[in-house]
Structure 1
């Protein structure tokens, strides 16, 4: 089964979900803005993505990123804490099969999971 951290208001997220559904694979849709990932979930996803720095899958253009002064934050734990507190900071969509994860930008990037 695949899991997608999905935001239905995001075009890329909708396109990625459509690609997954068309593949015939079973898909668990996590509306991560409502079903907010915990710090543990975010750290786990970071590991599945193969990232050492949480900033690698943060939306740095979001107003909250600037408002909270996150550009100057160097502590990964603090960045993960802020992503859990403000899930809009998490890049979307993210698709995982439980062993690895891929950001669906572009949506076709997730094809190796299919």
Structure 2
């Protein structure tokens, strides 16, 4: 299992605490220090069945000056902009060992991913 976190984020700390309590082994990726590549972010989005604007943090996107149309023609532009500005990526993103990937911001989603191990 892998979790993309910002250590300053309370939801990330809750997620890692839950993984620890469940005894699940996982790898932490501090994605602000080690941003995903375009290919990695594209793969994560594809596994979630989402477009990049669905996992973009609104305030951070605005601060970064990302003002792109939310359509298929601009999907790759969004991905490139988010990789260049990793603070814009929602967190925590958790990938279970079976490849299931979620943004684990709520208790229900976090519980489901913990159950997958």
Shorter-chain TM-score: which interval? 0.7 to 0.9
Task: Deviation per CA, 1:32-84: give whole Å up to 9, x if none.
Answer: 00011000010011012121x2100010121x535524254640000000111
Q: TM-score, normalised by structure 2?
A: 0.86
Question: Quick one: structure 1 residues 67 and 4, their matched pair in 2 at CA, closer, same or farther if it must change by over 3 Å?
Answer: closer
The whole-number CA distance in structure 2 between the counterparts of 1:111 and 1:31 is: 22
Where does structure 2 lack aligned partners over 5 or more consecutive residues? Answer: none
Kept in 2, the 8 Å contact 1:6–1:94? The answer is yes
1:101 is aligned to 101
The whole-number CA distance in structure 1 between the counterparts of 2:108 and 2:23 is: 15
Number of equivalent positions = 111
Instruction: Give me the CA root mean square deviation.
Output: 1.6
2:88 is aligned to 89
CA offset at residue 113 of structure 1? Answer: 2.1
Where does structure 1 lack aligned partners over 5 or more consecutive residues? Answer: none
2:56 is aligned to 58
Question: Quick one: structure 1 residues 14 and 40, their matched pair in 2 at CA, closer, same or farther if it must change by over 3 Å?
Answer: same
